[in-house]
Amino acid sequence: MTDTLPPCPECSSVYTYEMGALLVCPECAHEWEPAEGDPAEASDGPREIRDAVGNVLQDGDTVTVVKDLKVKGSATAIKVGTKVRGIRLVDGVGDHDIDCKVDGFGPMQLKSSVVKKV
């Protein structure tokens, strides 16, 4: 396995060796963390969060709710068509991936699958 070490990214030396979790170049003393797997695959960027119809959502977007949503601790539901301004994309609980404030309900997390970008 050690004969497949990548060359030094700084000076292209092929005499790199492993030191713990790091790779080390003996020629320029550069130390770096080896990329896991295919470097092209490792850099797949930020994950995309899409709304109910497949639009990519971004922080600050305004969305509307596409179905009635029961709210824990509230007698009323969030109605279809409720506009939610300034959403924030988060890695929330379960598959809740939108952090927002709904007028009349306050701050909460929603699933991107129940909203549509305006």
- Minimal distance, residue 27 CB to Zn ion, in Å: 5
- Minimal distance, residue 14 CB to Zn ion, in Å: 10
Q: How far apart are CA 82 and CA 64, in angstroms?
A: 5
- Minimal distance, residue 5 CB to Zn ion, in Å: 12
Taking residue 45's Cβ as centre, other Cβ atoms within 10 Å add up to: 5
Q: Which residues contact 100 (CB under 8 A, 6 or more apart)?
A: 63, 84, 85, 86, 87, 88, 107, 108, 109, 110
- The residue among 25 and 100 lying less far from Zn ion, judged by its C-beta, is 25
Radius of gyration of the chain (CA): 23
Of residues 103, 82, 75, 101, the one with CA closest to residue 90? 101
Query: Which residues of the chain form contacts with Zn ion (CB under 5 A)?
Result: 8, 10-11, 13, 25, 27-28, 30
- The residue among 8 and 98 lying less far from Zn ion, judged by its C-beta, is 8
- The residue among 13 and 109 lying less far from Zn ion, judged by its C-beta, is 13
- Minimal distance, residue 34 CB to Zn ion, in Å: 14
- The residue among 10 and 48 lying less far from Zn ion, judged by its C-beta, is 10
